[in-house]
Amino acid sequence: MIRLYIPQPLSPGAALAPGLDQSRYLTQVMRLKAGDDLLVFNGADGEWRCSVAEVLKRGVVLKAEERARDQILPPDVELLMAAVKKSPLEFAVEKATELGVRRIRLVRTERTQPQNLRLDRLETIAVESAEQTGRIDVPDILAPEPLEAVLDGWNPDRRLMFCDETGGPPAKVALPQAGGTSWGIVIGPEGGFSPSERQRLRELPFTTPVSLGPRVLRADTAATVALALWQASLGDWER
């Protein structure tokens, strides 16, 4: 069944107004008509079965019929992703959403190259990925901050998985030993972390340095692999 993210309150009988692009998708691509059903979620009220109540010249009106799934949150893991180039960053956002990350925090490192980032584009990618993969929430995407500032304000109760391309214990060994339910995963830029950044990350008491294997991975690949390893070790893949 078609799934849409609509950031409007969901309750029995609620009238919903999808955006123009969403309305065109429903009527022109999927050919829905009055009375047809679809699923809608907003990240707060669960997933609802809705029906097309009315097809207008410039949009549609949906009616919330009944809750299909209660709201649940994904595991408490966030991705700290260096602001890399457009294509790999968009890939990382898409795959991180598919893998259940709760939020994505973009960071600027010493070797981060200036980028003209469009947060709205990244948010659209996350929404589309959530719609396609059965999630009933969408990860938050935060504007870039300096890595130093993020580490300065870090909650020490949240563990930090430091994916160090220079080496470390295998993630499948180190993560279960570290324990904890709230985590961050930090991925550096294509040029890697600077020596001073690497030293600071390794010295932080809440950091767990890990290796992602014998090969040096691109930043977007590293983000995908790291999240998969975390989910397999500490996440919700056993549900």
The reported pTM is 0.93
The predicted pLDDT at position 174 comes to 95
Out of 99-103, 111-115, 148-152, 157-161, least confident range: 111-115
Same domain, 171 and 105: yes
Same domain, 42 and 97: no
Evaluate whether 138 touches 43 at the Cβ level (below 8 Å): yes
Same domain, 9 and 43: yes
* Mean pLDDT along residues 73-81: 95
Domain holding 56: CATH number?
2.40.240.20
DSSP line for 154-195: --TTSEEEEE-TT--SBHHHHHHHH--S-EEEEE--TT---H
Same domain, 147 and 225: yes
Nearest to 94 by CA among 116, 119, 127: 127
The predicted pLDDT at position 119 comes to 95
> Residue 102 falls within a domain, yes or no?
yes
Domain holding 184: CATH number?
3.40.1280.10
Q: 59: domain range?
A: 3-69
Among candidate residues 36, 69, 102, the one where a domain is terminated: 69
For the stretch 10-49, pLDDT in tens is 999 999 999 999 999 999 999 999 999 999 999 999 999 9
The predicted pLDDT at position 239 comes to 57
Total domain count, the chain: 2
* Mean pLDDT along residues 75-84: 96
Phi, psi values for residue 60, rounded to 5°: -135, 160
The predicted pLDDT at position 146 comes to 96
> Residue 156 falls within a domain, yes or no?
yes
- Quick one: the chain helix, strand, coil %, rounded to 5? 30, 30, 40
Count of C-beta atoms within a 10 Å radius of residue 14: 16
Mean of all residue pLDDT scores within the chain: 95
The predicted pLDDT at position 191 comes to 86
> Residue 239 falls within a domain, yes or no?
no
Evaluate whether 198 touches 166 at the Cβ level (below 8 Å): yes
For the stretch 149-198, pLDDT in tens is 999 999 999 999 999 988 889 999 999 999 889 999 999 998 899 999 99
Residues forming beta bridges with residue 163, ordered by sequence position: 210
Same domain, 120 and 153: yes
The predicted pLDDT at position 196 comes to 96
Among candidate residues 69, 87, 109, the one where a domain is terminated: 69
**Alpha helices per DSSP H over 103-160:** 119-133, 147-152
Same domain, 114 and 213: yes
Q: Is 209 helix (H, G, I), strand (E, B) or coil?
A: strand
